[in-house]
Amino acid sequence: MIQDLYKEIILDHYKRPRNRGELKNADLEERLNNPLCGDEVTVYANLRDGRLDEVAFTGRGCSISQASASMLAERLLGKSREEAEKEIKAFLEMMRTEEREDLGDLAALKGVVQTPNRIRCATLAWDAFRRGLEGETGA
């Protein structure tokens, strides 16, 4: 069942997070929490020649919130600022509406989130990164 596959993808990112760790003096650093569930995520990134040269996160909380941050880090690495903004927008839109095949594994997050309360778990890292991009001057 597709639902089992989705759960496996989430669990894999939760157990073996990609790019987990603090980036010191990062160009972008933004922390958000989700009091509804007790999740905390901080995202970090460095921009080089207009691209996201490094993307990382730290945090704690439920498997969905942490897997989502790991997926974000994997997904946005190497992207330009514009591509990242587009991707974040598409992801946040998907979480409010319908699953999208073009977002690949990210569909798993949509697939396992069954209640409106959990949407915040999945979008936490992405909201933080979006805020970070807005606040980052790109100097």
Q: For 136, phi and psi rounded to 5 degrees? A: -80, 130
Pick between residue 11 and residue 62 the one whose CB is nearest to Zn ion. Answer: 62
Residues from 68 through 107 that contact Zn ion (CB under 5 A): none
Distance in Å, CB of 7 to Zn ion, minimum: 15
Look at strands 28-34 and 39-48 and give their pairing.
antiparallel
- Assigned token pair, 13: 């990112």
Strands (DSSP E) found in the chain: 28-34, 39-48, 51-60
Distance in Å, CB of 129 to Zn ion, minimum: 17
Q: For 32, phi and psi rounded to 5 degrees? A: -140, 150
Closest by CA position to 71, among listed 136, 7, 122: 122
CA atoms within 13 A on the CB side of 13: 26
Partners of residue 58 on adjacent β-strands: 42
Site for Zn ion (CB under 5 A): how many residues?
Answer: 5
Q: Of 2-10, 21-29, 41-49, 116-124, which part binds Zn ion (CB under 5 A)? A: 116-124
Q: Which of 19, 65, 66, 70 binds Zn ion (CB under 5 A)?
A: 65
Distance in Å, CB of 38 to Zn ion, minimum: 7
Pick between residue 27 and residue 59 the one whose CB is nearest to Zn ion. Answer: 59
Q: Is 66 in the site for Zn ion (CB under 5 A)?
A: no
Give the x-and-dash track for 34-63 against Zn ion (CB under 5 A).
---x-x----------------------x-
Which residues are near Zn ion by CB under 5 A?
Answer: 37, 39, 62, 65, 121
